[in-house]
Structure 1
Amino acid sequence: MKFQLRDILEITGGELLLQTNTSGSFTVSADTRTVSPEEIFLPLVGAKFDGHDFIKTALDRGCRGYFIDKNHKNIVDSHAGAAKFVIGVDNTLESYLKLANANRRRINPIVIAVTGSSGKTTTKEMIFSVLSQQYKTHKSKLNHNNEIGLCQTLLNMPDDTEFLVIEMGMRGLGEIELLSKYAQPDMAVITNIGTAHIGRLGSMENIAKAKCEIVKYLNEEGVLISYNDELVGKTLSWNGKAIYYGLTNNVEIIKSDFNASQFVYKNNTYELNVSGEYNITNALAAIEIGKLTGVSSDNIAKGLAQYKPIENRWQILELINNIKIINDSYNANPDSMKASIDATISSYKNSKIVLVLGDMAELGEHEDNLHREIGIFLNDKKVFEVIAVGEKAKLITKTIENQEIKIKSFSKNDEVVEYLIDNIESNSVVLLKASRCMSFENIAEGLQKIGMDT
């Protein structure tokens, strides 16, 4: 969205600290790598960076003006020769959010916010695929689910947007409430409450509290769509309309194998081009959103059938000798790791299952026990081999008592690639699952040396 300078001052409550030429209209950029003369540079401040240090870079690239917060007003004079105007605000992130919210209110789409411990990106993508069958729909890119991502999503929204689907993540209490305040959702989705971020929040109860903040600024006439989770029911403070879903409610799974699923939900049949019960669960939220927004049953089914996983989420590589690599390594927590393992085993019953499991991050003081629990979980599973990568992942192997499961441990990804290239057997299915910090996409890339099945 382009703003007149007077509108920016009114929306943010800012003041002009320097002005020589304020004509024209402007968009806002927080990235000096892409800033242009038609943009105002907005320097954000984080725990390990300060965007104010890059004001000169923005000006060198042609930017005419910039924002500055109350703690940096002393540097205005140092850029006086290059800048045409400077806007002083109390807090640059808050100003960014206010500008984004102004565009949200101007376009006024129906806003759907999605959060949860896992599955939120997949659910967001499924909802988008369903809604876009009938409506002009905009969404958060990839997993741009923090304050900066929200601002970018709202400010880049096309003027004709009818529905907006936003993913909301968090690192602690209060963060989803902040996102909800500026997104002003009309519908809110909670996919589940799990152990992701337990290291930051300390308990499942606090995780539930953080996720349930999504209803704080939910439209009073809006709708909550939530997985039927006991912790949500105990924690939620919402008196409006609510819909709860789950695999035990009106769901019949017809098949979930290889790279496809088929199921019946409330007398309608749907298909997905991904397997796993957890993906069917995610699809239920998209179906409920579709029904609430008037999408026809045929278009809901069409939207789900057209959904495709993104960015290291259940991406399947077909190699020679009937070897398959399932790259589901974008991120991991104990719940999503167990779900991926179950989906792999149930989808490839006649294959040799090789699990390459890496460290799971942000589990805090619980991390050792939660890694050990994965090993216990594997004891009654039909698995050919478990390969642990990383110091914490080695704990998984310590609690595997099933003597039929081969066990290997490595410290580096390239060691895993070398081992598998030398030892992988035909008709094997290799699941890659770890937290993002483990960079398992490098393993997936390295294993392509085995040879793609053409």
Structure 2
Amino acid sequence: MKIIDLLRDYFPKKKILESVDIEDICMDSREVKKGSLFFAIKGGNNHVEEAIKNDAALVVYDSEELLITDEKSIFTEDTISFMQKLAKDYRKSNKTKVVAITGSNGKTTTKDMVYSVLSQRFRTKKTQGNHNNHIGLPYTILKAQPEDEVLVLEMGMSGFGEIDLLCNVALPDYGIITNIGESHLEYLKSKENVFKAKGELLKYVHSENTIIFGDDYYLRNIPGTKVGYGNENTFKISEFIENDRGAEFKLAGKSYRIPINGEHNVINASFAVVLGLKMGLSLSEIEKGLEEVELTPMRFQKIEKGEKLYINDAYNANPTSMKLAIETFDKLYNKRACKIIVLGDMLELGEKSGEYHKNIKDYLIRSKAEYIFLYGREMKNLWSVCREDKRVYYFKDKDSISEKIESIKEKSVILLKGSRGMKLEEIIK
């Protein structure tokens, strides 16, 4: 069923719905074109008339202060709630299979790998950018076409009830929980609560279609297909090796290769393998999907700038992901003359944030890096326990880090790791 058909059911007396069709969905009035369905969210209400002038097919708004009489307009008490209802009904009306992915680390990389694998067989769409919340998820569903066979949805959250809401809209057929880490401790206070919040997915997906990281303390005892390095897993990862070009591993006795480094990314790839097998893909299709994966930027992304190679892993950070990034970086590029680690604040860690930052010292002191640069208010905590290490420097601004890196004339490789709010990519000139 098309979106316009649902709207006709919602508003049977609205005559214009008989003659219009919807070609596109948008939330930014600057992107409106002929045939767009424009959702005015918050400040978007100020641009309803602009959207109509730009030939939108329909506009949905919720500002009672506006007196829009144009027949293309639809007033609702809450645009976001309306969009969620429409997305749920649209999802229910079509045969598209939905894959839901949540967890503290690795959601986006897993999403990219699952998408690449399933695209070898099915017409597949995925969450774009950071559209993984109560607005972005219904938006992603509505952007899909009725003929799409699979929709891979990333589900983010910061508190209780959010995954439940997203699942209630998306009604997933398959679910993946990557791990339970320290993300969102500012709001949820403990990893047990993070597990409860992420676990809201479980009541929506049958255990046969649930794939989880079986080595995780909080996930290992829940029903589902378990993936990991331990012997107790349904699918055991073995023979992991890596070099500057990527990683290789075996899963259930079959060899696979991915163009990205890290034992944690092998876990993410394994989720994609297992889901591919569950959905009937051949081994050759799965292999091809992994080898051809295009990752969302800032996930161990390699950027060459003259004699400098930047490893941009600065989309997000928490203690677990920072540890993994440092350990992975330590194994690689050791033939290059100079290795530099740049760390920015890990945000949203709550009351123990200072302690979590200080604990990074345990990984840094073992690092082979010649230079370690720290930036951000929270990183002062790490600096306070590392300042006697002559490799470690603290900077008040990113321009100074850029200048310091440029002053190192030898060939260098630089790891950037920090939370999204720190924008460490701005160091790359």
Is TM (by shorter chain) over 0.5? yes
Q: Does structure 1 residue 33 correspond to structure 2 residue 33?
A: no
Whether 1:421 and 2:406 are equivalent positions in the alignment is yes
- In structure 2, the residue matched to 1:133 is 120
1:435 aligns with 2:419: yes
Select which of 375, 379, 382 maps to 1:396: 382
Q: 1:58 aligns with which of 45, 51, 58?
A: 51
Query: Cα–Cα, structure 1 residues 258 and 40, in superposed 2: closer, same or farther, change >3 Å?
Result: closer
Cα distance, 1:222 vs structure 2: 5.3
Correspondences of 1:252-271 after superposition (within 5 Å): 252-271=238-257
Q: In the alignment, residue 43 of structure 1 is paired with which amino acid?
A: A
Partner residue of 1:226 out of 176, 197, 212 = 212
Residue 438 of structure 1 aligns with an amino acid whose one-letter code is: M
How far does the alpha carbon of each residue in 1:320-359 deviate from its partner, in whole angstroms, 9 at most, with x for none?
55x4221111221111111111111112334433110011
Q: CA 1:222 to 1:264, structure 2 compared with 1: closer, same or farther past 3 Å? A: closer
**Distance in 1 between the 2:271 and 2:416 partners?**
26
Q: How does 1:114-129 map to 2 (within 5 A)?
A: 114-129=101-116
Task: Give the alignment's Cα RMSD to 1 decimal.
Answer: 2.4
8 A Cα contact 2:155 2:163, kept in partner: yes
Aligned match of 2:261 = 275
- After superposition, where does 1:78-93 map in structure 2 within 5 Å? 78-80=67-69, 83-93=70-80
Amino acid of the structure 2 residue aligned with 1:410: F
- Cα separation, 1, equivalents of 2:207 and 2:9: 29
- Checking the alignment, whether the CA contact within 8 Å between 1:375 and 1:398 is kept in structure 2 is no
Counterparts of 1:144 and 1:185 in 2: how far apart (Å)?
17
Partner of 1:451: none
In structure 1, C-alpha distance between the alignment counterparts of 2:104 and 2:362, rounded to whole Å: 22
- Distance (Å, rounded) in 2 between the aligned partners of 1:390 and 1:298: 46
1:50-449, aligned counterparts within 5 Å? 50-63=43-56, 65-69=58-62, 72-73=63-64, 75-76=65-66, 78-80=67-69, 83-218=70-205, 220=206, 223-228=209-214, 229-233=216-220, 242-249=224-231, 250-321=236-307, 323-351=308-336, 352-400=338-386, 403=389, 406-426=391-411, 428-444=412-428, 446=429
**2:261 & 2:388 partners in 1: Cα distance?**
26
CA separation of 1:221/1:246 partners in 2, compared to 1, >3 Å: closer, same or farther?
A: closer
> 1:98 and 1:159 mapped to 2: Cα distance?
17
- C-alpha change, 1:160 and 1:92, in structure 2 (3 Å) is same
Distance in 2 between the 1:254 and 1:22 partners? 57
CA distance in 2, matches of 1:319, 1:90: 51
Shift of 1:408: 0.9
* CA distance in structure 1 between the partners assigned to 2:408 and 2:378 by the alignment: 24
Pair 1:44-2:36 in alignment? no
Cα offset, 1:131, TM superposition = 1.0
Q: 1:402: how far off?
A: 7.6
Q: Which residue of 2 aligns with 1:449?
A: none
User: Runs (4+) of structure 1 moved beyond 4 Å?
Assistant: 19-22
Distance in 2 between residues matched to 1:306 and 1:94, nearest whole Å: 37
Which runs of 5 or more residues in structure 1 are unaligned? 447-454
- Tell me which amino acid in the other structure corresponds to 1:7: L
Query: What secondary structure sits across from 2:255 in the alignment?
Result: strand
1:51: Cα distance to partner? Answer: 3.1
Report deviation, 1:85.
4.7
Deviations 1:14-66 (A, max 9, x none): 797xx684542343543212223533432224xxxx43333233234334653
Where 1:230 maps in the other structure, the secondary structure is coil
| AA partner of residue 253 (structure 2) | N
How far apart, CA to CA, are the structure 1 residues paired with 2:55 and 2:257?
51
The one-letter code matched in structure 1 to 2:322 is M
What 5-or-longer segments of structure 2 have no aligned partner? none
- The superposition leaves residues 143-188 of structure 1 with CA deviations (integer Å, 9 ceiling, x where unpaired) of 3211222122211213322222111111221111111111111110
What's the % identity of the aligned pairs?
33
Deviations 1:185-241 (A, max 9, x none): 1110000111111112211111111111112322x475110112221356x6xxxx6
Q: Note if contact 1:20-1:85 (Cα within 8 Å) is conserved in structure 2.
A: no
Post-superposition offset of 1:425: 3.2
CA contact (8 A) 2:111 2:153 kept: yes
Contact 1:3 / 1:25 at 8 angstroms: preserved in 2? no
CA distance in 2 between partners of 1:91 and 1:416 (Å): 45
2:2–2:146 contact (8 Å) kept in structure 1: no
Aligned pair count reads 421
- Structure 1 residues 320 and 221, CA gap change in structure 2 (3 angstroms): closer
SS of the residue 1:231 aligns to: coil
